[in-house]
């Protein structure tokens, strides 16, 4: 994985970090504040304070952030439409009262319904 760190266009000590996979495709963008520790002018450590300020790119047709997703539709290499959805995204599959939602759909409940149909 490659990581590109940028401070361009940021203020108040914020930085943007871009993560790329081995095929040089962006897989994540995140931003937040950063603190450096120097001893006698030499860097000793960097702490990046990540927050919920991120965008994931799990596939070329989809991007996801904290409270929305965008799905792109293509014909060949030309994008013809995009769908924007909203909702909270939680990746917990119904254990201990947790839930999975995307676009306000309860996927844990849907998985339970499918399981009941199989029985």
Number of residues assigned to the chain: 119
CA 30 vs CA 86, 89, 99: distances in Å: 19, 17, 25
pLDDT at position 82: 92
Q: Is the pTM of this model over 0.75?
A: no
Q: On the CB side of 81, how many CA atoms lie within 13 Å of its CA? A: 2
pLDDT tens-place string over residues 3-35: 655 555 555 667 777 888 888 888 888 877 766
Measured CA to CA, the distance from residue 34 to residue 37 in angstroms comes to 10
pLDDT digits (tens, 9 = 90+) for 49-82: 566 688 888 888 889 887 888 989 999 989 999 9
Q: Please report the pLDDT score of residue 42 as a whole number.
A: 73
Q: How far apart are CA 87 and CA 103, in angstroms?
A: 4
């Amino acid at each position: 994985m490659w990581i590109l760190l940028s401070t361009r266009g940021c203020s108040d000590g914020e930085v943007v970090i871009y993560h790329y996979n081995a095929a040089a495709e962006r897989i994540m963008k995140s931003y937040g504040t950063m603190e450096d520790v120097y001893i006698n002018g030499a860097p000793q450590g960097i702490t990046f304070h990540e927050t919920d300020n991120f965008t994931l790119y799990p596939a070329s047709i989809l991007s996801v952030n904290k409270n929305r997703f965008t799905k792109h539709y293509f014909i060949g290499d030309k994008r013809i439409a995009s769908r924007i959805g909203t909702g909270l995204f939680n990746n917990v599959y119904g254990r201990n009262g947790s839930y999975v939602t995307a676009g306000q759909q309860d996927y844990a409940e849907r998985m339970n319904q499918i399981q009941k149909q199989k029985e």
